[in-house]
Amino acid sequence: MLRQPRHWMMTFALAACLVLAGCASPATVALTGTPVPPATVTAPAATQAAPAATAAAPVTATTAASTSTAAPTATLPPPTATTAATTAASGPITLTDSLGRVVTLAAPAQHVVTLAPSNTEILYALGAGSVLAGRDDFSDYPPEVTQVPSIGNESPHVNAEAIVALHPDLVLAAGITSPDDVAQLAKLGLTVYATSNAANLDDIYKDIQAVGVLVGKMDAASKLVASMQDQVAAVKAKTASVTTHPVVYYELDATDPSKPWTAGPGSFVDQLITLSGGTNAGDIAKDQYAQISLEQLVSQNPDIIVLGSATFGGQTPAMVAARPGWQSIKAVKNNMVFAFDDNLVSRPGPRIIVGLEKLAALIHPELFK
Amino acid sequence: MSEAITNPVPAAARTEVIDRADRLRPSPRRGLGLAAATVAALLVAALLAVVIGSVAIPPGAVLALVLERLTGLRSAVAYPPAYATILFDIRLPRVTLMALTGAALAAAGASYQGLFRNPLADPYLVGVAAGAGLGATLALVFNLPSTFVGLSAVPISAFVGALLTVGLVVLSARVGGSMPISTTLLAGVAIGSFASAFTTFIMLRSPDGLRRSFNWMLGGYAGGGWDPVLIILPYLVVGMAAVQLNARALNVLQLDEEQARQLGINVDRVKLVLVVAATLMTAAVVAFGGLIGFVGLIVPHSLRLLGGPDYRRLIPLSAIGGAAFLILADLVARTVVAPQELPVGVVTAIAGAPFFVFLLRRLKRSVF
């Protein structure tokens, strides 16, 4: 009768499992339907538009939850008259972040703390790894980033002491950062920019452009976005002609193999499977991150099983074959079960393109030799 | 106390019974020593918690900066500006919030244990935790705007959720004019289970809300600074005063409800006042601190073992002891795996439970 506290403990334990599953999966990048104003750039925007525009159009057409129909670079206004178009900014930088906050920097940031792996990876991809003064605990790529001091992770809250002690001139929060944490850091006098809770590739491109502006790497950002768009276009060109669309089951977590978690419609994984010329078995779910029953999975009978659960759950194809009830699935019978680096598709950063190429190679190996 | 229950004194001998109830403590002198020890523990804990943190600030710098702040005189050494920010804007408000939270939870726990005459009673017994959890989760999932007096909607919503849930429990438990204890407990469990199940359902429907409400449950409100302290302080002062004013009635209630009634105590009013006071305190601190277990259970019981069951003494002692305990637990939580922080509730349970068992074994006395 007096077990209420314990009951709560059990709820916590359940929630803990789910949160861990959530952290290990793209759940952390899910957009929950809140309209987020796109990052508008009023700082000296470089010449990012031209090479990207043609490649960008088909991308936006295929992204499920796209909020903009134009090429992502089109939201960036032309360079202002007072600054040179192609050199790093010399005047103050003013951007509006994904929380609608106006963020101003006197000069490009030299001392940055990132609160999410995606932002860390964007910095390195822009060649700005040297400005990284601190990172969150989940940031583990590129490998040398582990030399940079960690400020812990945000569960339950960011460690404000550790961040303040690093004297950052910019804190890069992400869509997964709690707005309360962002407010707390801002109240302590820090400059905080929150990248988007990316729902599609366009959002990632915008985040890359914005980070480029903040650290004075606009050219690198434009080049990076253009090359990502080229790579997406290349995959699309190859998969445009496919006649078969294999059914792909992407596994996020199978702690309970009779009710595994998968990526539902609108999730990044769903978008990438579609781009790769496959059909997402998780499309039957309602939510972006959904627990489906083994019964449903068996009736979907996927041709290919991709184990994102290999990254955090240590699942292997052999373990899948040994799961009771899974032997009847086509992918298991035909040895089409593959371990996969979930970080490639769960972090809304530059490596998502690597994830796309790897997925496409698994789904249509005949096209990617 | 058990002696008082097994050998009830005839109702006629009123004053004698009340005297006995008052004399539940072992000895006045021992109580004074314990009070001094608890206050000393609180001071030491607060001092340690200000000096030690995930970022090392030399004790000399702490002293110099505090003196500088108090006297306005600039110290000879120029310390990094981050030191002052960390000390006055992060650490001090957090230590104060933890002190108030520990005090409220322990005092509320002591009053509930007395009121329900049940050693397992804790501040979350009648639905505060479940209601606060539901309120916070709703605010997070529906992304309520954070404009109310400049605060996040989350703590406000948690507070309102807790009050509504307990209000519902009290209303459901009332039979005629009175509030039978067993009915109150059952209503608390039923409505609490409903609220927490509903919370789980909402959390599962929203992956982003799930992570955030889980973080709130474990770690409370992230805002930091002095605002939370200022907001919960009035609830604490009023709640603490109300509980303390009813401490003598709590003593008498330990004998028997019927007997207490005959002795002229308005039992139903005492119950209602205590439930409302304990709920106000608990809801206020839970809204900002999240759900922190075991403080309301272990601290009052430890002090009861050491200082006897007189509620006039036990309640203030629990408040001070709870403050000291939670400050220390939070100190461990933010330093043991620095820069990562642990939820303070994990520390209170891991450190508190064995300590409590040790006390039980050591004193070899009945807890309640």
- Contacts with A189 from chain B: Cβ below 8 Å: 85
Final residue in a domain of this structure, among A184, A214, A237: A237
Please indicate, yes or no, whether residues A62 and A95 belong to a single structural domain of this protein: yes
Residue B116 belongs to domain with CATH number: 1.10.3470.10
Residues in chain B, pLDDT under 50: 1-12, 25
Distance CA A129, CA A148 (A): 10
Contacting residues for B352 by C-beta, under 8 A, at least 6 apart? B294, B295, B298, B325, B329
Give me the pLDDT at residue A38, please.
38
CA nearest to A10 within chain B: B196
In a domain, B237, yes or no: yes
The nearest CA of chain B is from the CA of A2 a distance in Å of 7
Alpha-carbon gap, residue B340 to A137, rounded angstroms = 8
Comparing CA positions, the residue from A161, A162, A156 lying closest to residue A15 is A156
HSE-CB at B295 with a 13 A cutoff on CA atoms is: 39
Q: Which of A1, A9, A180 sits opposite B222 (nearest CB)?
A: A180
Q: What is the ipTM of this complex?
A: 0.72
Q: Please say whether the beta carbons of B271 and B94 come within 8 A.
A: no
**Average model confidence (pLDDT) for chain A?**
79
Residue ranges making up the domain that contains A266: 241-363
Residue A30: per-residue pLDDT: 31
The pLDDT value recorded for residue A33 is: 33
Contact B55 A161 (CB under 8 A): yes
- Chain B contact set for A252 (CB, 8 A): none
* Domain presence at residue B53: yes
DSSP annotation string for A217-255: -HHHHHHHHHHHHHHHHHHHHHHTT-S---EEEEEEE-S
User: Does residue A77 sit in the same domain as residue A190?
Assistant: yes
Question: Do residues A311 and A292 share a domain?
Answer: yes
Find chain B residues with C-beta within 8 A of A19's C-beta. 210-211, 214
- Domain check: are A53 and A164 in the same one? yes
| Beta-carbon separation of A156 and B199 below 8 A | no
Q: CA angle at residue B362 from B361 to B368, to 5 degrees?
A: 65
Is residue A10, in this structure, part of any structural domain at all? no
Instruction: Give pLDDT tens digits for A180-205.
Output: 889 889 999 999 999 998 999 999 99
- Please determine, for residue A356, whether its predicted confidence score (pLDDT) is greater than 70: yes
d(CA A227, CA A182): 32
What chain B residue is nearest to A183 in terms of C-alpha separation?
B223
Could you tell me the residue range of the domain that residue B25 belongs to?
2-363
- In our burial notation (b when 16+ CB lie closer than 10 A, e otherwise), range A257-295 reads beebbbbbbbbbbbbbbbbbbbbbbbbebebbbbbbebe
Residues in chain A closer than 8 A to B221 (CB atoms): 180
Q: What is the pLDDT of residues A209-249, one digit of tens each?
A: 999 999 999 999 999 999 999 999 999 999 999 999 999 99
Confidence at residue A18, expressed as pLDDT on a 0 to 100 scale? 38
Residue A6: pLDDT band by 50, 70, 90 thresholds? Answer: very low
Question: With contacts defined as CB-CB under 8 Å, which chain A residues touch B220?
Answer: 156
Is residue A113 located within the same domain as residue A215?
A: yes
Quote the minimal CA–CA distance from B189 to chain A in Å: 6
Taking an 8 Å cut-off on Cβ atoms, the answer to whether A18 and B203 are in contact is: yes
What value does the mean pLDDT take over residues A36-55? 38
Final residue in a domain of this structure, among A237, A263, A295:
A237
Bridge-based pairing of strands A289-291 and A261-263 is antiparallel
Q: Within a domain: residue A120?
A: yes
Instruction: Inspect the interface and report whether the beta carbons of B225 and A184 lie closer than 8 Å.
Output: yes
Question: Which residue from B136, B104, B131, B119 is spatially nearest to B278, judged by alpha carbons?
Answer: B104
Cα distance from B11 to chain A (closest Cα, Å)? 32
- Sheet containing A192-194: which strands, arranged edge to edge? A132-134, A112-114, A170-173, A192-194
For A165, name the nearest residue in chain B, comparing CA atoms only.
B82
Whether residue A283 sits in one domain with residue A192? no
**Contact between A11 and B339 using a beta-carbon 8 Å cutoff:** no
Q: Indicate if A60 and A174 belong to the same structural domain.
A: yes
Looking at A220, A237, A254, which one is the last position of a domain? A237
Residue B368 falls within a domain, yes or no?
no
B119 to chain A, minimum CA–CA distance in Å?
Answer: 10
Cβ of B211 within 8 Å of Cβ of A1? The answer is: no
Residue B325 in any domain: the answer is yes
Same domain, A115 and A164: yes
Pairing of strands A102-105, A112-114: unpaired
Report yes or no on A19 lying in a domain: no
How far apart are the CA of B208 and the nearest CA of chain A, in angstroms? 7
A190 and A58 inside one domain: yes
Residues A271 and A223 in one domain: no
- Residue found under tokens 């496919």: A242
Q: How many domains are there within chain B? A: 1
* CA atoms within 13 Å, Cβ hemisphere of B144: 18
A324-A325-A326 Cα angle (round to 5): 95
CB < 8 Å to A133, chain B: none
For residue A258, being part of any structural domain is answered with yes
State the nearest Cα–Cα gap between B165 and chain A, in angstroms: 14
Helix H or strand E encompassing A261 = strand A261-263
Do the domain assignments include residue B56? Answer: yes
A104: domain CATH number? 3.40.50.1980
| Structural domain contains residue A24 | no
Which residues does chain B have within 8 Å of residue A156's beta carbon, measured at their own beta carbons? 214-216, 218-220, 222, 290, 341, 343
Q: Is pLDDT at A50 greater than 80 in this prediction?
A: no
| In a shared domain, residues A256 and A232 | no
Q: Which residues of B touch A183 (CB under 8 A)?
A: 146, 152, 222-223
pTM value > 0.90: no
